[in-house]
Amino acid sequence: MIKKIKIGMVGGGDGAFIGEIHRIASRIDNRFELVAGALSSDSSRAIDSGENLGISGDRIYTSYEQMARTENARVDGIDAVVIVTPNHMHFPVAKAFLQQGIAVICDKPVTLDQLQARQLAKIIKESGSFFCLTHNYTAYPMVRFARELVQEGKVGKIRLVQVEYVQDWLSDKQEDGDNKQAQWRTDPKKSGAGGSVGDIGSHAFNLAEFISNLQVSEVCADIDAFVEGRQLDDNAHVLLRFKQGAKGILWCSQVAPGNDNQLKIRIFGDRGGLEWAQENPNELWYSPLGEPTQKLTRAGHGVSEVANRISRTPAGHPEGYLEGFANLYRDIADALVLHQQGKPRPPELQLIPGITEGIAAMNFIEAVVSSSKSNSQWVPLNEQ
């Protein structure tokens, strides 16, 4: 029997979307056990949420600082904390637990701004603690397979990368009602400099770099807050230049009626092209130059062990968002055990996003905002 990894959670109380997603994903492979939590900044809600999740009363906290100190002092203290708060709390919470020697699993984006991200990188290095970032789309089997095909040269030298993440849920002013998700995501004090750019554009950016294995060097952006009175962008059009010479386009929007979670990427090289869409995640379209387009399916013919390693059911049985998230949690569990043993990660576990990817995304967000403010001038991303 594999010993379960004891986790605590900061944020993610009753009614919170992403906290429950993390809890489900962490349970699917039975590798984690939630034993502690500071689930809300509101004391009564924190207590009620902890009780509803069956957490022991002495491990329900109303302060994340108290939780970090107390759990570190306990013989049976948590191995890791999961941070699912609004963005502005990622840095102080991560800092508190890392300095207590407790591993951190943090939702994206990594911090409120680039300065905090670089400060966090220093803390991670000094503490020697484990840190990872849940850019969960990197753990879909067909995304991993797409990355492998690129690395094998199946599309040749990449020329073009087109990626979009499009939603419609903020097409009207949801933040004026009781929608807490809309309230903090449109508040620059809690979300950071980017609205749609930070919330979903960071996912699109991360996916583009992950699959292509290229790094964005410059951006030219035009961002808007189409909904009157909104403080942060709800739509962004971004031109991309990659260090390796490729060009790209990124579109993110939360005001596009008819779109739920349309994350889609297309990559074109001098030998072929690839296309993947998150709403049909079990399919990858591969177009060798001059040959018919091929539909490759998860666990199907022609799919490699890279993808099959994280496929859970036979071909034809759909796997989606929760399974992809769980794949990342399973990799995190394996990597954390190796970290505790002082052992290096094998190649497949080196794909887990961390502080490097976190800094890259913050650089992207701030460069996009800066470009738009400068009348869409090209702005370089700071060196990571």
- Convert the pLDDT of each residue in 227-276 to its tens digit: 999 999 999 999 999 999 999 999 999 999 999 999 999 999 999 999 99
Percent of the chain clearing pLDDT 70 (strictly above): 99
Q: Report the pLDDT value the prediction gives residue 2, as an integer from 0 to 100.
A: 81
* 380 burial level (CB within 10 Å; 0-12, 13-18, 19+): middle
Spatial neighbors of 73 by CB under 8 A, at least 6 apart, are none
Q: Are 150 and 213 in contact, with CB atoms under 8 Å apart?
A: yes
Tokens linked to 194: 């980017």
Q: What is the mean pLDDT of residues 82-106?
A: 98
Spatial neighbors of 88 by CB under 8 A, at least 6 apart, are 112, 189, 190, 191, 192
The helix or strand, by DSSP H or E, that contains position 204, with its residue range, turns out to be helix 202-212
Helices (H) and strands (E) in the chain, counts: 13, 14
Q: What is the mean pLDDT of residues 184-211?
A: 98
Q: Beta partners for 104?
A: 81, 131
Q: Are 136 and 329 in contact, with CB atoms under 8 Å apart?
A: no
CA angle 277, 283, 289 (to 5 degrees): 90
Distance CA 17, CA 26 (A): 15
Q: Are 71 and 42 in contact, with CB atoms under 8 Å apart?
A: no
Q: Are 103 and 82 in contact, with CB atoms under 8 Å apart?
A: no
Three-state SS at 102: coil
Q: Report the pLDDT value the prediction gives residue 1, as an integer from 0 to 100.
A: 67
Q: Is the pLDDT of residue 202 over 80?
A: yes
Instruction: Return the closest-CA partner of residue 250 out of 272, 235, 270, 230.
Output: 235
Q: What is the mean pLDDT of residues 169-183?
A: 96
- Which stretch of 1-5, 309-313, 340-344 has the lowest confidence by average pLDDT? 1-5
* Position 383 confidence tier, pLDDT thresholds 50, 70, 90: low
Q: Report the pLDDT value the prediction gives residue 168, as an integer from 0 to 100.
A: 98
Q: Are 107 and 84 in contact, with CB atoms under 8 Å apart?
A: yes
Three-state SS at 191: helix
Distance CA 50, CA 63 (A): 13
pLDDT tens per residue across span 128-173 = 999 999 999 999 999 999 999 999 999 999 999 999 999 999 999 9
pLDDT tens per residue across span 207-216 = 999 999 999 9
Tokens linked to 153: 């040269």
Spatial neighbors of 109 by CB under 8 A, at least 6 apart, are 87, 90, 192, 198, 202, 358, 361, 362, 365
Q: Report the pLDDT value the prediction gives residue 278, as an integer from 0 to 100.
A: 98
- Please state whether the predicted TM-score (pTM) of the whole model is above 0.85: yes
Percent of the chain clearing pLDDT 90 (strictly above): 98
Spatial neighbors of 300 by CB under 8 A, at least 6 apart, are 315
Q: Report the pLDDT value the prediction gives residue 382, as an integer from 0 to 100.
A: 82
- Which stretch of 13-17, 98-102, 141-145, 373-377 has the lowest confidence by average pLDDT? 13-17
Edge to edge, what strands does the sheet with 262-269 contain?
294-297, 283-288, 272-277, 262-269, 158-166, 247-253, 235-242, 216-224, 379-380
Domains of the chain: 5-133 (3.40.50.720), 140-314+355-373 (3.30.360.10)
Edge to edge, what strands does the sheet with 80-84 contain?
32-38, 5-11, 80-84, 103-106, 131-133
Q: Are 199 and 263 in contact, with CB atoms under 8 Å apart?
A: no
